[in-house]
């Protein structure tokens, strides 16, 4: 059977979304899981989401929320809403959770499958830069040595081709990888989509066939939003889930 990777990013403590994505991935015959960071933050189930990602044996890199939730650092660079949730999340995590997050690498090259994974960008992975257009992506491409690099961070599914074009993902967009072209692929967010579509987003990548499929998966948004309120987190975070913003 061909190796098929489910590439997940920005789970953000959304247990309902994560479970729905994993159900979809298994139905699609996925053999391996990869997580591009930000397992925690924003939603109500950080411990549970860490446990699930670890139980999958998912190859995982560290996101900015993973970093700040597991390090006692000032949160001056964060918006007050995000800083509030990070402080709350820190109080929920066990010592083992914290250690696991701290030890996650910022990036990883997976030579056998021809891909690299990072949360933000390869040029300055610890600066957590946002990439929304080809100009932003160009600095990153200088450091990309594999045909494909998967990333997250913006919560918006996009694909950049080096010296090429920007491809915005619609539901279940299928992309054939062209020889000699580099791709910088944002897989969107499992737990907090921000492109106006509240459904979870992720990518299935089949290296042998050189095919990527962007997928959207509905989940129980109402329960996830209700958990946010019940945990004492800002109601606005639950509203964001309903709007996909």
Residue pLDDT, tens place only, 200-224: 999 999 999 999 999 999 999 999 9
- 169 has a pLDDT exceeding 60: no
Q: What is the pLDDT of residue 163?
A: 67
The span from the CA of 44 to the CA of 70, in Å, is: 16
Residue 78, pLDDT > 80, answer no
The dihedral built from the CA positions of residue 7, 13, 14 and 19, taken in this order, carries a sign that is positive
Mean pLDDT over residues 152-177, rounded? Answer: 77
Residue 95 has pLDDT above 90, yes or no: yes
Assigned token pair, 97: 């959770």
At residue 18, does pLDDT exceed 60? Answer: yes
Mean residue pLDDT of the chain comes to 92
125 CB-contact burial (10 Å; exposed 0-12 / middle 13-18 / buried 19+): buried
3-state secondary structure of 92: helix
- What's the residue count for the chain? 245
Average pLDDT over residues 106-113: 94
Give the pTM.
0.93
Q: Which domains does the chain have, with CATH numbers?
A: 5-243 (3.60.21.10)
- Residue 75 to residue 86: CA distance in whole angstroms: 9
CA dist., res. 141 & res. 164, Å (int) = 12
- Whole-number percent of the chain with pLDDT over 70: 96
* Lowest model confidence (mean pLDDT) among 12-26, 163-177, 211-225: 163-177
């Amino acid at each position: 059977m061909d190796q098929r990777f489910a590439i997940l990013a920005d789970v953000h403590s959304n247990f309902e979304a994560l479970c729905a994505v994993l159900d979809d991935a298994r139905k699609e015959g996925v053999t391996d899981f990869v997580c591009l960071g930000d397992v925690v933050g924003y939603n109500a189930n950080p411990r549970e989401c860490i446990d699930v990602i670890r139980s999958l044996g998912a190859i995982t890199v560290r996101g900015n929320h993973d970093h700040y939730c597991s390090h006692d650092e000032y949160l001056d660079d964060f918006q007050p809403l995000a800083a509030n949730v990070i402080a709350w999340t820190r109080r929920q995590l066990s010592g083992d959770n914290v250690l696991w997050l701290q030890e996650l690498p910022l990036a990883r090259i997976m030579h056998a499958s021809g891909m690299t994974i990072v949360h933000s960008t390869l040029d300055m992975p610890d600066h957590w830069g946002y990439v929304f257009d080809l100009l932003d992506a160009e600095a990153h491409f200088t450091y990309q040595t594999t045909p494909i690099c998967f990333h997250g961070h913006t919560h918006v599914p996009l694909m950049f081709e080096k010296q090429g074009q920007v491809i915005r993902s619609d539901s279940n967009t299928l992309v054939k990888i062209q020889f000699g072209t580099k791709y910088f692929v944002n897989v969107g967010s499992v737990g907090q989509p921000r492109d106006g579509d509240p459904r979870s987003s992720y990518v299935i990548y089949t290296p042998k066939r050189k095919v990527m499929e962007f997928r959207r998966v509905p989940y129980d948004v109402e329960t996830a939003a209700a958990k946010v309120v019940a945990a004492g987190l800002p109601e606005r975070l639950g509203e964001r889930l309903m709007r996909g913003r």
